């Protein structure tokens, strides 16, 4: 499915609801600039939540290769955008993922696709971090997985405390990454070259 050209069932109904929301906000939905806004927003929301209809486990197993490599594999600086489930405002940043293979590796782009799938759902950063880790651990059965996410939340930037430069960092890990030395190796590699948001 191409999310830019193919849309799911319920699109027109979503648009009706967004038109009502605009009216409740005090807008004139018949003015030129807003006439197509309800359907545009409905399409945008289907794109931003497409992860509900994608299988992250299948993405990994579709590119699974037997390989005896058993050192750390890191895919870092994976850009992502998601919607906070509390205010449905965006949060965005970078995900850094490491795993230690246990007989099988997956295509490197598939790690980024897993991040993409889980971020295209209504989320909190803490759960997003855990879901990425759990998916890789449960699918590849590696010796360990670690995920670190750094993000800015527009619900903190645009409303409430209105802090523009706050960055939230979350992490989750399993297996070999329970050892402080292994976690430290990963974090040192991130600090060495990782760019700030």
Which residues are designated catalytic? 84-87, 125, 153, 155
Q: Within 10 A of 60 (CB to CB), how many other CB atoms are there? A: 21
- How far, rounded to the nearest angstrom, does the alpha carbon of residue 80 sit from its chain's CA centroid? 5
Residue 115 and residue 119: Cα distance in Å, rounded? 6
Q: Are 12 and 45 in contact (CB under 8 A)?
A: no
Q: Which residue has the tokens 């209504």?
A: 122
Q: What is the dihedral of CA 132, 136, 138, 142, to 10 degrees?
A: -140
CB under 8 A, 24+ apart: contacts of 125-133: 125/82, 125/91, 125/149, 125/151, 125/153, 125/168, 125/170, 126/170, 128/82, 128/170, 129/170, 129/171, 129/172, 130/172, 132/95, 132/97, 132/172, 133/172, 133/173, 133/174
């Amino acid at each position: 499915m191409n999310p830019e050209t193919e849309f799911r069932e319920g699109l027109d109904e979503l648009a009706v609801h967004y038109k009502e929301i605009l009216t409740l906000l005090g807008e004139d939905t018949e003015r030129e600039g807003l006439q197509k806004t309800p359907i545009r927003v409905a399409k945008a929301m289907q794109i931003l939540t497409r992860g509900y209809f994608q299988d992250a486990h299948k993405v990994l197993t579709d590119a699974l290769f037997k390989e005896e490599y058993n050192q750390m594999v890191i895919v870092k600086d994976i850009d992502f955008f998601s919607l906070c489930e509390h205010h449905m405002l965006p949060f965005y940043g970078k995900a850094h993922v490491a795993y230690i293979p246990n007989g099988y590796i997956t295509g490197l782009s598939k790690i980024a696709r897993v991040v993409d799938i889980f971020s295209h759902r209504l989320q909190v950063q803490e759960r997003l971090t855990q879901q990425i880790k759990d998916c890789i651990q449960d699918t590849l059965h590696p010796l360990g997985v670690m995920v670190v996410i750094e993000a800015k939340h527009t619900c903190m930037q645009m409303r409430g405390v209105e802090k523009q430069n706050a960055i939230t960092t979350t992490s989750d890990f399993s297996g070999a990454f329970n050892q402080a030395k292994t976690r430290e190796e990963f974090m040192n590699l991130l600090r060495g070259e990782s760019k700030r948001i």
